[in-house]
Amino acid sequence: MRILLAGASGFLGTRLAARLRADGHDTVQLVRRPARGPAEVTWSPSSGQLDPAAFDGVRAVINLAGAGVGDKRWTDSYKALIRSSRVDSTGTLATAIAALPATDRPAVLLNSSAVGWYGDTGDQPVEEDAPAGEGFLSDVARVWEAATRPAEDAGVRVVRLRTGLPLHRDGGLLKPQLLPFRLGLGGRLGSGRQWVPWIAMQDWLAAVVFLLERDDVAGPVNVVGPNPVTNATFGTALGAAVHRPAVMPIPAFALQIALGEFAVEALRSSRVLPGVLTGAGFTYRYPQLAGALQAALHDD
């Protein structure tokens, strides 16, 4: 299958591109710089520019583009970039897909979203039918998902990947925590009672491939593990995985000093369950956190 991929240079995108190629798919990557060969196409999502020829022979589009949420302190300008980088890329793709002749449109658009959609769920477990919550990331998720509408209205199957926290030692939730935990300085964040919607990287990749191939699944899909844990439990498990105690809690006020406004989101509770994936028969390789952490620390 020929697949058009946006966001292929990011933490998730690089691993997904490699997985798709290993599975025998022909991937074409959208880039903002001049293309370096036939496997790349230049686009400008900020100005809505994308050559329709990019879709020649394409049967699926996967969009993971977006500025990193935790990469920088949340100034007003960086918050605007978090939002625009997601909405502009999604809107450009969805509009371009809708403008194609019906016979030339891809069969599916898998578009990244996030469990931030739900806001703070406290101890309440939520599945895909739960409404959007409150807060900056919830607001971003609302407009991000709404930007897929042109493709959906054109009859294309659209899957909104409400991704949780994929675990891998080289990025995401895990990377910044590894050094302090290995030094014996790790522990819970804030109260530790907030729920963490983790997923093993291998299961995230497998879920995306599963959704690519399942033409009976559309709409929002929580791409999370089946057994979320509290932050305190996560810290204990990570300490055990690196053979160190996890007894150095980081109080909420210290996070707020270090992270600013982002600390509010980092301390939110997200007890999100994968209702659609489990209902569709997806099988997790690492359904429990201990196994997922071992894979994250030692597997490629």
Which amino acid is present at 117?
W
Domain ranges, ordered by start, for the chain: 2-298
What pLDDT is stored for residue 95 in this prediction? 98
The CA distance from 293 to 289, in Å, is 6
Residue with tokens 């699944």: 217
The CA distance from 273 to 225, in Å, is 7
Q: Residue 12 has which token pair?
A: 């998730």
Residue with tokens 């903002």: 32
pLDDT along the chain (300 residues), means of 10: 96 96 97 94 96 96 93 89 97 98 97 96 97 95 98 98 95 85 87 94 98 97 98 94 86 60 76 98 98 91
Q: At what angle do helices 289-298 and 231-241 cross, to 10 degrees?
A: 50
Parallel/antiparallel/unpaired status of strands 60-63 and 2-6: parallel
The CA distance from 276 to 270, in Å, is 17
The CA distance from 2 to 27, in Å, is 6
- Please state which CATH class domain 2-298 belongs to: alpha beta
What pLDDT is stored for residue 197 in this prediction? 96
Q: CA torsion sign, 135 to 164 to 97 to 43?
A: positive
